[in-house]
């Protein structure tokens, strides 16, 4: 039988509390950002001055992905000014530091159903997380319990299957040589995923595995090159490797893909690297 003893915690409302106030909450989050449930983040800044817009409560950063989190703390219930301020600070930071991805974070004691609806309207357009925070006391001990109420929505591709076309459609739209590059890249994929085949659609050439869509990589032949989109988590080392190879990395899209332009010589010269990159995408999610 377990020797653990049941202990009852009492909730403490922080709004108006003399000792456990907003400064105390900010200090606890700064000491241990993990309590927010957003991962192993590090503190970048606290009470960060914003040009003509006050101070951002807390700025956190993911040391691996380099994503930054603009965190605003609200005691009591969320209100209009809190939401506006959070989004404003997020917008200022993303414009000042566009090299990072940014997420707005609202932390409040009570996120009401009314404001859940309002916040949900932004989610998917503004990367926003809402966290409900409760202060709990047991004797002389105080703790903060944080629950993620709204998570950042990752925008994905349209769930509807795009219109199916044939190879000749792409040979006319681009040309035979660049469509041939898709064949060459498919041959590299076959070294680690033999059942995969090309799936010609109106917007891109995707992949199918055993009759089912499996677009861990998609291809878009153009007149003089081919654009590939490799679906995988954003990582600084991947971007560094792409840059060191001299490949043209256009961007990391909101759909979670690296968009890369390749010439015929790129495919020939960097076939091993491209195979490893596509295999990494397959291993990560292309099952």
Tokens (6 digits) for 230: 């490799």
Q: Which residue is associated with the tokens 């006391």? A: 137
CB 278, CB 238: distance < 8 Å: no
Q: Which residue is associated with the tokens 């377990």? A: 2
**What's the CA gap between 111 and 119, in Å, rounded?**
10
The structure's pTM equals 0.53
The three-point CA angle 272-278-282 to 5° equals 135
Q: Which positions ≥6 away from 134 have C-beta within 8 Å?
A: 11, 109, 144, 145, 146, 147
pLDDT tens, residue by residue, 162-214? 788 999 999 999 999 999 999 999 999 999 987 899 999 988 999 998 878 88
Give, as one character, the DSSP assignment of residue 246.
T
Tokens (6 digits) for 81: 């000014």
- Among the listed residues 162, 74, 90, 161, the one whose alpha carbon sits nearest the alpha carbon of residue 125: 90
Percent of the chain scoring above 70 in pLDDT: 92
CA distances to 11, 44, 58 from 47, rounded to whole Å, are 27, 11, 6
Helix (H) or strand (E) holding 227: strand 226-231
Neighbouring-strand partners of residue 135: 12, 144
Q: Which positions ≥6 away from 220 have C-beta within 8 Å?
A: 203, 204, 205, 226, 227, 228, 229
Q: Which positions ≥6 away from 56 have C-beta within 8 Å?
A: 45, 47, 48, 50, 70, 71, 72, 89, 93
SS3 20: coil
Q: Which band of pLDDT confidence, cut at 50, 70 and 90, is reported for residue 153?
A: low
Sketch out the chain's domains with CATH numbers. Answer: 10-150 (3.40.1350.10), 167-285 (3.90.1150.200)
Average per-residue pLDDT in the chain?
Answer: 86
Q: Which positions ≥6 away from 278 have C-beta within 8 Å?
A: 185, 188, 189, 192, 216, 217, 230
pLDDT tens, residue by residue, 211-258? 788 899 999 999 999 999 999 888 889 999 999 999 999 888 877 889
Q: Which band of pLDDT confidence, cut at 50, 70 and 90, is reported for residue 2?
A: low
User: How confident is the model at residue 248, as a pLDDT?
Assistant: 92
**What's the CA gap between 64 and 237, in Å, rounded?**
9
């Amino acid at each position: 039988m377990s020797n653990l003893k049941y202990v009852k915690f009492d909730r403490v409302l922080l709004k108006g509390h003399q000792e456990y106030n907003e400064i105390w909450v900010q200090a606890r989050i700064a000491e241990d950002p993990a309590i927010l449930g957003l991962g192993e983040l590090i503190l970048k800044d606290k009470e960060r001055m914003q040009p003509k817009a006050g101070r951002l409560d807390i700025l956190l950063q993911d040391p691996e992905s380099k994503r930054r989190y603009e965190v605003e703390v609200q005691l009591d219930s969320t209100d209009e000014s809190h939401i506006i301020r959070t989004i404003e600070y997020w917008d200022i930071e993303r414009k000042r530091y566009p090299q990072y991805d940014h997420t707005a974070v609202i932390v409040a004691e009570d996120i009401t159903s009314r404001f859940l609806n309002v916040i949900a309207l932004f989610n998917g357009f503004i990367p926003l997380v809402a966290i409900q925070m409760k202060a709990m006391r047991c004797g002389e001990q105080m703790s903060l319990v944080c629950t993620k109420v709204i998570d950042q929505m990752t925008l994905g591709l349209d769930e509807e299957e795009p219109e199916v076309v044939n190879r000749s459609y792409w040979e006319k739209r681009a040309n035979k040589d660049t469509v041939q590059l898709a064949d060459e890249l498919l041959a590299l994929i076959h070294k680690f995923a033999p059942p995969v085949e090309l799936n010609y659609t109106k917007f891109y050439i995707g992949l199918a595995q055993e009759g089912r869509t499996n677009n861990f990589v998609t291809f878009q032949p153009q007149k003089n090159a081919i654009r590939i989109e490799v679906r995988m988590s954003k990582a600084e080392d991947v971007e560094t490797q792409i840059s060191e190879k001299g490949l043209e990395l256009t961007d990391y899209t909101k759909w979670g893909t690296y968009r890369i332009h390749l010439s015929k010589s790129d495919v020939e010269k960097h076939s091993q690297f491209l195979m490893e990159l596509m295999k990494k995408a397959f291993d990560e999610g292309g099952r």
